[in-house]
Amino acid sequence: MKLKIVSIIVVLTTLLAACGGPSTSAPVASGLPVDAAAIAKDRGLTPDDVAAALKTYMPSGKTDPYIMFASGGQSGQVLVIAMPSMRILKVIGVFTPEPWQGYGFGGSGNKVLEGGKVNGKEVLWGDTHHPNLSETKGDYDGEFLFINDKANARVAVIDLRDFSTKQIIKNPNAINDHGGAFVTPNTEYVIEGPQYAAPIGWEYAPLDQYKEKYRGLITFWKFDRLKGRIDPDQSFQIELPPYWQDLCDAGKGPSDGWFFCNSFNTELATGGIELGNPPFEAGTTKNDTDYLHIFNWKKAEEIFKAGKGKKINGMAVIDLETAIKENILYFAPEPKSPHGSDVTPGGEFIVVGGKLDPHVTIYSFEKIQAAIKAGNLNKDTYGVPVIPLDKVMEAQVELGLGPLHTVFDDKGYAYTSLFLDSAVARWSLGGPYEKKHPEPGWKLVQKLPVQYNIGHITAAEGDTASPDGQFVVALNKWSIDRFANVGPLLPQNFQLVDINNTGDKMKVLYDMPIGMAEPHYAQIIKADKLKPFEVYPKVGWDAEKMAVDPNAVTDPKLAGVKRDGKNVTVNMVVVRSHFTPERVEVQKGDHVVWRLTSIEQQRDATHGFALSGYNINLSIEPGKTEVIEFDANQAGTFTYYCTEFCSALHLEMIGYFLVKP
């Protein structure tokens, strides 16, 4: 396959060269010429363009080798994108109702969304930042995906058997988060790191009591893999100083059991530009260093299990004093407005960027351990031991302006996003990685311009114990001149970068507009690690419980309407191209439980169910059962119909819902 592509490129480039390069002639009015070389010439494509097109082209009927899960930013959703063709396969409804999936319009998705209530109030959107795939031994296992909602401090669990959200959990003690959702190497915990400090439980406290009352709080959500749910009773939190903890990553290999978060605002700035105070942007950047937070989570787990956490709002919290006394928490200085905290594939080093520092700083886990053992550490204002930077720093590499996030490949290279430079920096890792690449140790190798203002960066399995290399995606915040003008709100731009060659040969292959929100992070998994259902395994499947609904009616002969006083039960069977029953009549004020089961078994034979006027809309995939419950409080004549064009007589797939006054 590879050889074939190479030979096609050779043929095309030879043809192009023979044509004397890009043509300036006008496009052929009657359509493009059919000959490949002539097309390239006509469109003015360079040999590099042609190679890029071939590398990303996926012929009809062929599927891509990689799948990217991207945060959907302030849409609250998750995007599923095939790579390298960059085709969007799916938008998964997570924090925001998603009508296409019937998510949040009466069916089981409503129960999931209810888990995300904040003090009893429905919050039907989220600001998703960091999707994280479940891991086994530090590698993606393709079973689950987690994502945080920065705006409301919530974490969601997505089951990759059916790519749907199963749980949203509200952090009872935090109102915003950021450094989540990051998993430990065997998905023991899903970690939700904090961001902007607030009193625990976000109770009111004036800002002049910031130092005493405001706190950071990191949450270790226990994940129960068998149940596919976070178990809050087995979860715990650690109280932190009110610095703004930011991006986090779990240790692995030698550093398994440890967890690392960068932070900023060790200045304890509280803003108030309107009062003559320095604005946050100045107040939080005064200090030359902030603190890398170093957690011994295995020790914290022991302390929690020994019952040494205090219950606050139902959640066990290890207070700061205990965390210090039990050697759970250490700091190490990080230069100028750090961002990002990324552990190398072998778990030996932690890479931290600096929004206002041209370097990445590399910390050695071994040196951290040695410094902790040696003891004699100074303490910060809150009594947390601080390891001096020169004791733990392995290297610093000057990359350029605004280094943020770092991912890795299989050749011993690291890739760091440079926000201010609008570039991807490829640099070589030293230590045990040195023999994998031609460069001598820690060194900048190439800066590839990207368009524009890159935030996160992601690589194929690039944050696991065994990265794949091949591709990097630059998640650019600005797209400016890359796409046709669609008005003042522009799409973001995902740029696919080829990293197959060593040295300074990285190339941008493809621009993909994301016109629905600003994604932050994304992860890329080998497609064959995912084993989703083709249809639900049994007819009558309850997708929320991932088991058969014992009340599902699967025989059309048993379908119908039953009444018990004011309670009406509708048992409906759904199959091409009719609902049974097709007439449902109730009295105004009746309480209706309506159970719908698709007895379809054929792949892709999905039906919809839209009930006019009652804000009900379901997606009923083959085998699925959905239950809706409502009071028939509007009298009148209503229709229900199928919203998926399921068959030639799809338009006939309707029924009448009559509510007698």
To the nearest 10°, report the CA torsion of 455, 459, 465, 469: -150
Q: In the bound complex, which residue of the shown chain has the CB atom lying closest to ligand K7E?
A: 455
Residue 650 interaction partner, one of ligand K7E, ligand CUA, none, beta carbon < 5-8 Å per kind? ligand CUA
Q: What residues contact 113, with CB distance under 8 A and at least 6 apart? A: 95, 97, 103, 104, 122, 124, 168
Three-state DSSP at 557 gives helix
Q: Which is nearer to ligand CUA, 339 or 624 (CB)?
A: 624
Q: Is 73 in the site for ligand K7E (CB under 6 A)?
A: no
Counting every residue written for the chain, the total comes to 661
In whole angstroms, give the CA distance from residue 28 to residue 22.
Answer: 15
Contact 362, 395 (CB under 8 A): yes
Tell me how far, at minimum, the Cβ of 604 lies from ligand K7E, in Å.
Answer: 36
Q: Which is nearer to ligand K7E, 150 or 166 (CB)?
A: 150
Residue 247 interaction partner, one of ligand K7E, ligand CUA, none, beta carbon < 5-8 Å per kind? ligand K7E
Question: Phi/psi zone of residue 106: left (φ > 0), alpha (ψ -120 to 50 degrees), beta?
Answer: left
Q: Which is nearer to ligand K7E, 130 or 624 (CB)?
A: 130
**Burial tier of 115 (Cβ tally within 10 Å: 0-12, 13-18, 19+):** middle
In whole angstroms, give the CA distance from residue 653 to residue 576.
Answer: 8
Q: Which is nearer to ligand K7E, 521 or 541 (CB)?
A: 521
Residues in contact with ligand CUA by CB under 6 A are 577, 607, 642, 644-646, 650, 653
Residue 213 interaction partner, one of ligand K7E, ligand CUA, none, beta carbon < 5-8 Å per kind? none
Q: What are phi and psi of 652, to 5 degrees?
A: -85, 0
Which of 333, 328, 375 is CA-nearest to residue 243? 333
Q: Is 455 in the site for ligand K7E (CB under 6 A)?
A: yes
Helix axes 47-56, 2-19, angle to 10 degrees: 150
In whole angstroms, give the CA distance from residue 182 to residue 250.
Answer: 7
Tell me how far, at minimum, the Cβ of 497 lies from ligand K7E, in Å.
Answer: 17
Q: What is the biggest distance separating any 2 CA atoms in the chain, rounded to whole angstroms?
A: 85
Question: What one-character DSSP code corresponds to residue 204?
Answer: -
Q: Which is nearer to ligand K7E, 342 or 439 (CB)?
A: 342
Site for ligand K7E in 435-454 (CB under 6 A): none
Q: Is 126 in the site for ligand K7E (CB under 6 A)?
A: no
Residue that the structure tokens 């270790």 belong to = 220
Site for ligand K7E in 194-253 (CB under 6 A): 247
Three-state DSSP at 383 gives coil
Contact 268, 251 (CB under 8 A): no
Q: Give the C-alpha distances (Å, rounded to integers) separating 116 from 156, 229, 592, 652.
A: 9, 14, 25, 38
Strands in 225-354 per DSSP E: 229-240, 244-250, 258-264, 289-296, 310-312, 315-318, 329-335, 338-343, 349-354
In whole angstroms, give the CA distance from residue 125 to residue 498.
Answer: 34
Taking residue 596's Cβ as centre, other Cβ atoms within 10 Å add up to 24
Tell me how far, at minimum, the Cβ of 597 lies from ligand CUA, in Å.
Answer: 13
Residue that the structure tokens 């998926």 belong to = 644
Residue 644 interaction partner, one of ligand CUA, ligand K7E, none, beta carbon < 5-8 Å per kind? ligand CUA
Tell me how far, at minimum, the Cβ of 119 lies from ligand K7E, in Å.
Answer: 24
Residue 455 interaction partner, one of ligand CUA, ligand K7E, none, beta carbon < 5-8 Å per kind? ligand K7E
* Rg for the chain, CA atoms, rounded: 27
Q: Which is nearer to ligand CUA, 259 or 609 (CB)?
A: 609
Q: Which is nearer to ligand CUA, 590 or 600 (CB)?
A: 600
Among 161, 170, 447, 520, binds ligand K7E (CB under 6 A): 520
Residue 23 interaction partner, one of ligand K7E, ligand CUA, none, beta carbon < 5-8 Å per kind? none
Tell me how far, at minimum, the Cβ of 216 lies from ligand CUA, in Å.
Answer: 51
Tell me how far, at minimum, the Cβ of 335 lies from ligand CUA, in Å.
Answer: 59
Residue 520 interaction partner, one of ligand K7E, ligand CUA, none, beta carbon < 5-8 Å per kind? ligand K7E
Q: Is 154 in the site for ligand K7E (CB under 6 A)?
A: no
Tell me how far, at minimum, the Cβ of 336 lies from ligand K7E, in Å.
Answer: 16
Tell me how far, at minimum, the Cβ of 265 lies from ligand K7E, in Å.
Answer: 15
Residue 642 interaction partner, one of ligand K7E, ligand CUA, none, beta carbon < 5-8 Å per kind? ligand CUA
Q: Which is nearer to ligand K7E, 244 or 638 (CB)?
A: 244
Contact 96, 122 (CB under 8 A): no
Q: Which is nearer to ligand CUA, 102 or 142 (CB)?
A: 102
Tell me how far, at minimum, the Cβ of 411 lies from ligand K7E, in Å.
Answer: 25
Site for ligand K7E in 378-407 (CB under 6 A): 404-405
Residue 448 interaction partner, one of ligand CUA, ligand K7E, none, beta carbon < 5-8 Å per kind? none
Residue 426 interaction partner, one of ligand K7E, ligand CUA, none, beta carbon < 5-8 Å per kind? none
Q: Is 521 in the site for ligand K7E (CB under 6 A)?
A: yes
Among 456, 578, 607, 624, binds ligand K7E (CB under 6 A): 456
What pairing do the DSSP bridges indicate for beta strands 139-149 and 132-136?
A: antiparallel
Q: Which is nearer to ligand K7E, 166 or 405 (CB)?
A: 405
Q: Is 178 in the site for ligand K7E (CB under 6 A)?
A: yes
Tell me how far, at minimum, the Cβ of 454 lies from ligand K7E, in Å.
Answer: 8
Taking residue 392's Cβ as centre, other Cβ atoms within 10 Å add up to 25
Helix (H) or strand (E) holding 406: strand 403-408
In whole angstroms, give the CA distance from residue 308 to residue 54.
Answer: 59
Among 55, 129, 336, 578, binds ligand K7E (CB under 6 A): 129
Angle at 131 between CA 127 and CA 135, to 5 degrees: 155
List residues near ligand K7E by CB under 6 A.
Answer: 129-130, 178, 247, 339, 404-405, 455-456, 520-521
